[in-house]
Chain A
Amino acid sequence: MTPEDPSSNRFRILSPLEFWGKTCLSLVLTLGDFVRFFVAILAGLLRGMDRFGRREMLSQMFDLGTLSIPVVMLTGFFIGAVLVIEAYPQFHALGLASRLGSVTVLSVVKQIGPVLTGVMLAGRVGGAMTAELGTMRVTEQIEALRSMAADPVRTLAVPRVLACLVMTPILTVFSDILGIFGGWLIAVHVQGINNDQFWHFARVGVDIYTINTGLIKALFFGLAIGAIACYKGFRCGNGAQGVGRACTEAFVSSFIVILILNLVLALLLTNIYVMVWPNQPPIL
């Protein structure tokens, strides 16, 4: 049975039990199908790529990675700046305005940088990658690959997922740098916080583990964004409407998964920090 049975009458009013039954069944079927697809991608990642795959990966890294750098930097800068503007009055009232350095850098590196990059990329990837793969499916290009004894997951999905996996942490670094710069600009040049104090607390508040926390998150976000975008493209419905719907679904699903992963990884990585360095507080 498929999640969307064309024989079912779309306009029939379902009883609540029927509705929940159908919803749960469709959810379980989609999830199972996605897990199988994801396992095929992981297997493909381990098997490596052929020449065509490597070329696809480089072109995707450029399209989705390099071309995203300006927009990721711009959003990073503005969010970093706004963060300081909003936080300053509270910290100033407590007499802790000089501590804004650690708050800014910590928020940017651990949360804002990776999450913002993930969301920006989910939008771009949902729009570009899912639409491209969806169109390929609709115009029988994916079937043509299979008919030529090529594995579409290995040829198309693996290079794209790998491109997302590599580029998300790199873009996060750009977002982090501009976020910190935006925060610093407002804190030091608008709110008049001492430059040395800003950087002193920034250094104290952030260690290498914290920076890695952000980058590990970015790695998982990249994997999720790439896999979801490819899955939605490969399973896209017919016609222009099918492609449009697949793109929207890819973005919404990636966005939700990013938020869930962010929560799970924040809990996990903070607990690991406490386990490894029990005498140090996780946040200054």
Chain B
Amino acid sequence: MIQPTTDTLAQPIIRFADVHKRFGSLVVLDALSLDIPADRTTVIIGPSGAGKSVLLKHIVGLLQPDSGNVYFHQQRINHLSERQLEPIRKRIGFLFQMGALFDSMTVGENIAFPLRHQGIKSERNIQQVIGEKLAVVGLSGSEKKMPADLSGGQKKRVALARAIAMDPEVVLYDEPTTGLDPIRADVINELILKLKEELKVTGIVVTHDMASAFKVADQIVMLLNGKIIAQGTPQQIKTMENDDVRHFIEGRANAADLKALHRL
């Protein structure tokens, strides 16, 4: 493995310790150990199926490791029941890959859901938060729309507004810029930076979009076959010699793929 050089000043807010996870015979996470520093943005890159989304789901207890441990603020969370996980989940926002908006609710109701679920009674406060968060993602005035009437990119932005509705201390972004035009993608990048700088939000971003990764990351981690093959600052990743890393960040097909194509 390439030697990691991370910001040692920041305290880890989330820690993976020797986490193994498999689905049937497929190994998804293989003895993975990783510290996520607080108040920083960690970007996780890697080819599809490398275990990136699975890694995110372990942080909120949607998945449990087969062995190894996951810690949140030094508290082990992988053995907790659904009810014990509630206080932790309230502190973490999750932007799902496809948005995962509730189809039966309007945009406004989707954003209000975590607020109402957490017992915020004042309708005026709720409406204010909906307005603010929609403005942040550039969709002011679409409170009454149904998710089915939105484009893929708009759905993702509403989902992001919902993920930050409770002002969480950690936000997990599962491919936040996929399916967005370059300008809108950059708005999301700016938003991730703004949340970190102004609200001290710890961000964990899973992405294939290298422009986004280099822009928002304080730390980049590359996963391949469930293992970390590279870890470092964007600058360190850019100058790494490892072939897998270079192919990925430059978006080049590797020799094996090209050979397979030539057989056609």
What's the least CB distance linking B66 to chain A, in Å? 12
- Asked whether, in the complex, the Cβ of B82 is within 8 Å of the Cβ of A151, the reply is yes
Of the 9-residue stretches A84-92, A138-146, A186-194, which lies at the interface with chain B? A138-146
Among candidates B25, B86, B90, B94, residue contacting A144 with C-beta atoms closer than 8 Å? B94
How many B residues face the partner with a CB closer than 8 A?
29
In whole angstroms, how far apart are the Cα atoms of A151 and B81 in the complex?
12
Among candidates A59, A135, A146, residue contacting B62 with C-beta atoms closer than 8 Å? A146
**Residue B257 interfacial (CB < 8 Å):** no
Chain B residues with Cβ below 8 Å from A6 are 23-26
- Asked whether, in the complex, the Cβ of A141 is within 8 Å of the Cβ of B82, the reply is no
Among candidates A2, A50, A136, A147, residue contacting B92 with C-beta atoms closer than 8 Å? A147
What's the least CB distance linking B197 to chain A, in Å? 25
Within 8 A of A (CB), among B96-120: 96-98, 100-104, 113-114, 116-118
**Chain A: CB-nearest residue to B105:** A52
Chain A residues with Cβ below 8 Å from B118 are 149
- Asked whether, in the complex, the Cβ of A149 is within 8 Å of the Cβ of B24, the reply is no
**Chain A: CB-nearest residue to B119:** A50
Chain A residues with Cβ below 8 Å from B92 are 147
Chain B residues with Cβ below 8 Å from A139 are 98, 100
**Chain B: CB-nearest residue to A141:** B100
- Asked whether, in the complex, the Cβ of A144 is within 8 Å of the Cβ of B23, the reply is no
In whole angstroms, how far apart are the Cα atoms of A1 and B62 in the complex?
18
- Asked whether, in the complex, the Cβ of B24 is within 8 Å of the Cβ of A51, the reply is no
Within 8 A of A (CB), among B178-203: none
**Residue A15 interfacial (CB < 8 Å):** no
Chain B residues with Cβ below 8 Å from A144 are 94, 96, 100-102
Q: Mark A146-158, 1 if CB is under 8 A from B, else 0.
A: 1111110000000
Chain B residues with Cβ below 8 Å from A2 are 24
- Asked whether, in the complex, the Cβ of B26 is within 8 Å of the Cβ of A51, the reply is no
Among candidates A52, A136, A141, residue contacting B117 with C-beta atoms closer than 8 Å? A52
Among candidates B89, B96, B100, B104, residue contacting A149 with C-beta atoms closer than 8 Å? B89
**Residue B60 interfacial (CB < 8 Å):** yes
**Residue A18 interfacial (CB < 8 Å):** no
Chain B residues with Cβ below 8 Å from A241 are none
**Chain A: CB-nearest residue to B57:** A143
Chain A residues with Cβ below 8 Å from B13 are none
**Chain A: CB-nearest residue to B86:** A149
- Asked whether, in the complex, the Cβ of A7 is within 8 Å of the Cβ of B114, the reply is no
What's the least CB distance linking A276 to chain B, in Å? 43
Chain B residues with Cβ below 8 Å from A143 are 57, 62, 96, 100
What's the least CB distance linking B215 to chain A, in Å? 26
What's the least CB distance linking A189 to chain B, in Å? 46
**Residue B137 interfacial (CB < 8 Å):** no
- Asked whether, in the complex, the Cβ of B62 is within 8 Å of the Cβ of A51, the reply is no
**Chain B: CB-nearest residue to A152:** B82
Chain A residues with Cβ below 8 Å from B116 are 50-52
**Residue A5 interfacial (CB < 8 Å):** yes
In whole angstroms, how far apart are the Cα atoms of A135 and B60 in the complex?
22
Within 8 A of A (CB), among B101-149: 101-104, 113-114, 116-118
Chain B residues with Cβ below 8 Å from A135 are 103
In whole angstroms, how far apart are the Cα atoms of A2 and B26 in the complex?
14
What's the least CB distance linking B114 to chain A, in Å? 5
**Residue B34 interfacial (CB < 8 Å):** no
Chain A residues with Cβ below 8 Å from B98 are 139-140
The answer to whether A141 and B97 touch (CB under 8 A), given A7-B24, A149-B89, is no
Please list the residues of chain B having a beta carbon within 8 angstroms of any beta carbon in chain A: 23-26, 57, 60, 62, 82-83, 85-87, 89-90, 92, 94, 96-98, 100-104, 113-114, 116-118
Please list the residues of chain A having a beta carbon within 8 angstroms of any beta carbon in chain B: 2, 5-7, 50-52, 56, 59, 135-136, 139-141, 143-144, 146-151
- Chain A to chain B contacts (Cβ below 8 Å), 15 pairs: A2-B24, A5-B24, A6-B24, A52-B113, A59-B104, A139-B100, A140-B96, A140-B98, A141-B100, A143-B62, A146-B82, A147-B89, A147-B94, A149-B85, A149-B118
